[in-house]
Amino acid sequence: MSKVKVIVTLLITGLGFALILFYLNSSRKPEEPQAEGTYPEKEIAKEPTQQPTQSADYKASFAIYTNNTFRIFTASMYHNLSPDVYIKKDNPNIVHVKEAGITWGDFFDTLPLKLTKDCLTTGTGQTFCTGASGALEFYLNGIKNEELLNQEIKTNDKALITFRGSGDADLQKQLQSIPDPETAL
């Protein structure tokens, strides 16, 4: 009887090893055929899709006019809304940039207003859209720039967003009213 037990034990053990080998072999990815003289490529670590952010510390400034009315941002609902780019109570037309790569659109998106290429909806809900009553225009450093919202904010930039009707006054006055970021607190 002991010979029978040994044979049965060997058969069960052998069957167990065969099952383990079968499982391990079937769970491996099949190799793709390689052309002669080539080797399978190694897995290359993928680059992160986003670049690490770089800290920054500079200022720019802006002004918004609607039908020659200078829009003010002294209400606390506009202040310090993002750690990356913000305005403060003491000088709400100065933009504090703390992260490189921030665009003007990114900045305006932090504020409780809506600004697109064609429309401005203020924090109080007034809407000014390009159409029969006037045009929404964008200026960067004194030059008309329809792509302002896509432009990265640079040190000492001055942005003007103005909704002007057909008889609206002096664009130069509006441009000159933008505070100088260099001298701001």
Query: 32 pLDDT band (50/70/90 cuts)?
Result: very low
Amino acid at 2: S
Query: How far is the CA of 18 from the CAs of 14, 45, 89, in angstroms?
Result: 6, 35, 76
Separation of alpha carbons 86 and 24, rounded Å: 57
In a domain, 45, yes or no: no
pLDDT at 113 over 90: yes
pLDDT at 78 over 60: yes
For 112, the domain range is 55-176
Amino acid at 172: Q
pLDDT at 161 over 50: yes
Question: Is residue 151 classed as helix, strand or coil in its secondary structure?
Answer: coil
Separation of alpha carbons 56 and 41, rounded Å: 40
Q: Which distant-in-sequence residues (6+ apart) come within 8 Å of 160 by Cβ? A: 62, 63, 64, 65, 137, 138, 139, 140, 174, 175, 178
Separation of alpha carbons 128 and 53, rounded Å: 34
Is 156 in the same domain as 102? yes
| Number of domains, the chain | 2
In a domain, 170, yes or no: yes
Is 21 in the same domain as 67? no
Buried b (16+ CB within 10 A) or exposed e, 152-171: ebeeebbbbbbbbeeebeeb
pTM over 0.75: no
Residue 35: its pLDDT value, please? 42
Residue with tokens 């510390």: 57
Query: 46 pLDDT band (50/70/90 cuts)?
Result: very low
In a domain, 155, yes or no: yes
pLDDT at 84 over 80: yes
* Strand pairing class (69-70; 85-88): unpaired
Both tokens assigned to 147:
């792509």
In a domain, 42, yes or no: no
CATH of the domain at 100: 2.170.130
